[in-house]
Amino acid sequence: MEVTMDPLFLALSYFRRRKLQQCSDICTKILQDSPYDQAAWSLKTRALTEMVYIDEVDVDQEGIAEMMLDENSIAQVARPGTSLRLPGTSQGGGPSPAVRPMTQSGRPVTGFVRPSTQSGRPGTMEQAIKTPRTASTARPVTGSSGRFIRSGTTLFEYIFHHENDMKNALDLAAQATEHAQFKDWWWKVQLGKCYYRLGLYREAEKQFRSALNHEEVVDTYLYLAKVYRRLDQPITALNLFKQGLDHFPGEVTLQTGIARIHEEMNNISSATEYYKEVLKQDNTHVEAIACIGSNHFYTDQPEIALRFYRRLLQMGVYNCQLYNNLGLCCFYAQQYDMTLSSFERALALVANDEEQADVWYNIGHVAVGIGDLTLAYQCFKLTLAFNNDHAEAYNNLAVLELRKGHIEQVGDLQSSYTAAQKSEDAFPEHVDTQQLLKVLRQHFAVL
């Protein structure tokens, strides 16, 4: 006798195994026979939501409109140490900006790619259009809060994440909040998320604050901190994280948030201390290990940095960036036998042209270190073949052309001045390029 499994039970089984498309297809068949089956509707909306679900806590990327038409700026010139947009010089004895590379937005290069830290806020519309975006999140997707058991919460999540219809999501959340007599913290958080998506940050702040008054929840602290970061109030965000730690001692996500803000404000020493606290609670925290390793590398401790990157390798992290960092650490730690093999692995794992350019640039940097200027020149040219806006490669080519005596020669990148100008066009605030151009202009003045 053949036994068939109940379709809804099978769909639920697929959902639990993260086979979301199969789950949705079975629910669709169920609804064709029973259009009013609430369980099937609820499960299908959950499956469709999970297909596109992104943790709102970490994703904080600004579009061109928000970047160029910011209506939430409090002061044009913020005091030093109070703004994420003008982080200023390093504090607390950390490495100077001349030692630690900076992004085009003026922030120090972090050891872990996270949203809105690498690209930052471009200064012009042209930079905004060509600014690369990162799709990776630094924190794992948070689990559901157990509210999916009600069809109303399931519907909201579907409208918010899958349909991306903020107006209807806001209306639903407002009606649900009113129905709950303004005492349900979860719906207030959803209201705040809708306001945040719509750019109404002060309204979002009120909702998150009100939710915290009803229930102390870690995610609410993280959402509220996002609001203050978008309003460029890092000190307020830091105080909020510390307030959260009073209620949730040792909470990794709150400590990580403090470390990120210190890092973005170029207070590297304080950021490292908080990342160390993170590792005391979670010794497999990839972001903390990577950032501490990066800090050791930029403070001339490549041997210690190598230990942290090897730890990531032991944990199963296997990507181009890791092998690229391993190659640099091995080179500066004088472990030359491992340097080229690490870069070979990095080249084999590249996922896009930008990564390919970065690896070739670092190989060229190693070639300069060992005195093979011909190889270095070829590597920098390969870098530009994969990324024509690589300012550091242009700068290094300009230096090599200067050493050859090609200062004024006309031709594509055949003169030091031409390459330096292209470097300035790609990254106007690049310190090394500005110094090189100053030397070249002095040479022209003497002539």
Identify whether 390 is part of a domain. yes
Distance from the Cα of residue 334 to its chain's centroid = 31
Q: Would you state the pLDDT for residue 436?
A: 80
To which H or E segment does residue 325 belong?
helix 320-332
Residues 412 and 288 in one domain: no
Distances (CA, A) of 102 to 60, 115, 127: 20, 16, 16
Residues 392 and 284 in one domain: no
Residue among 133, 136, 129, 135 nearest 119 (CA): 133
pLDDT in tens, the chain (447 residues): 566 789 999 999 999 999 999 999 999 999 999 998 989 999 999 999 999 887 777 766 555 445 455 555 545 556 667 777 665 555 444 444 445 776 655 566 777 776 555 444 444 434 433 433 333 333 333 334 344 445 678 889 999 989 999 999 999 999 999 999 999 999 999 999 999 999 999 999 999 999 999 999 999 999 999 999 999 999 999 999 999 999 999 999 999 999 999 999 989 999 999 999 999 999 999 999 999 999 999 999 999 999 999 999 999 999 999 999 999 999 999 998 899 999 999 999 999 999 999 999 999 999 999 999 999 999 999 999 999 999 999 999 998 888 887 776 545 555 777 788 788 888 777 778 888 888 777 766 655
Helices (H), 333-430: 336-348, 353-370, 373-386, 391-404, 416-426
Residues 178 and 285 in one domain: yes
Residue 267 φ/ψ, nearest 5 degrees:
-95, 75
Of 295, 310, 331, the one marking the end of a domain is: 295
Identify whether 359 is part of a domain. yes
Asked if 347 contacts 358 with a C-beta cutoff of 8 angstroms, the reply is no
Residues 265 and 367 in one domain: no
Question: Would you tell me the crossing angle of helices 431-446 and 416-426 to the nearest 10 degrees?
Answer: 140
Q: What is the pTM of this model?
A: 0.78
Distances (CA, A) of 16 to 13, 50, 144, 151, 153: 5, 11, 13, 18, 19
The length of the chain, given as a count of residues: 447
CATH number of the structural domain spanning residue 287: 1.25.40.10
Residues 354 and 239 in one domain: no
Q: Which are the contacts of 108, defined by CB distance < 8 A and separation ≥ 6?
A: 87, 90, 97, 100, 101, 102, 263, 264, 266, 268
Of 295, 312, 337, the one marking the end of a domain is: 295
Name the β-bridge partners of 108.
102
Residues 260 and 356 in one domain: no
Asked if 86 contacts 79 with a C-beta cutoff of 8 angstroms, the reply is no
Place of tokens 């073949």: 385
Identify whether 232 is part of a domain. yes
Please give the single-letter amino acid code of residue 77. Answer: V
Residues 291 and 354 in one domain: no
Asked if 65 contacts 149 with a C-beta cutoff of 8 angstroms, the reply is no
Asked if 255 contacts 278 with a C-beta cutoff of 8 angstroms, the reply is yes
In angstroms, the CA 419 to CA 398 distance is: 5
Tokens of 381: 């040219």
Asked if 22 contacts 48 with a C-beta cutoff of 8 angstroms, the reply is no
The SS3 assignment for 185 reads helix
Residues 154 and 265 in one domain: yes
Q: Would you state the pLDDT for residue 75?
A: 53
Please give the single-letter amino acid code of residue 300. Answer: D
Identify whether 86 is part of a domain. no
Residues 376 and 265 in one domain: no
Identify whether 372 is part of a domain. yes
Residue among 292, 230, 274 nearest 84 (CA): 230
In angstroms, the CA 26 to CA 197 distance is: 33
Question: Would you tell me the crossing angle of helices 286-298 and 320-332 to the nearest 10 degrees?
Answer: 30
Residues 354 and 424 in one domain: yes
Give the number of C-alpha atoms closer than 13 A to the C-alpha of residue 445, restricted to the C-beta side. 6
Identify whether 66 is part of a domain. no
Of 295, 316, 333, the one marking the end of a domain is: 295
Identify whether 247 is part of a domain. yes
The SS3 assignment for 71 reads coil
Residues 282 and 370 in one domain: no
N-term to C-term CA, the chain: 99
The SS3 assignment for 224 reads helix
> 85, exposed or middle or buried, with CB in 10 Å at 0-12, 13-18, 19+?
middle
Q: Which domain holds residue 12?
A: 7-52
Identify whether 90 is part of a domain. no
Q: Would you state the pLDDT for residue 31?
A: 93
Distances (CA, A) of 447 to 72, 407, 442, 444: 50, 12, 9, 5
Please give the single-letter amino acid code of residue 267. Answer: N
In angstroms, the CA 277 to CA 290 distance is: 14
Residues 288 and 363 in one domain: no
Q: What is the DSSP letter of 108?
A: B
How many separate domains does the chain show? 3
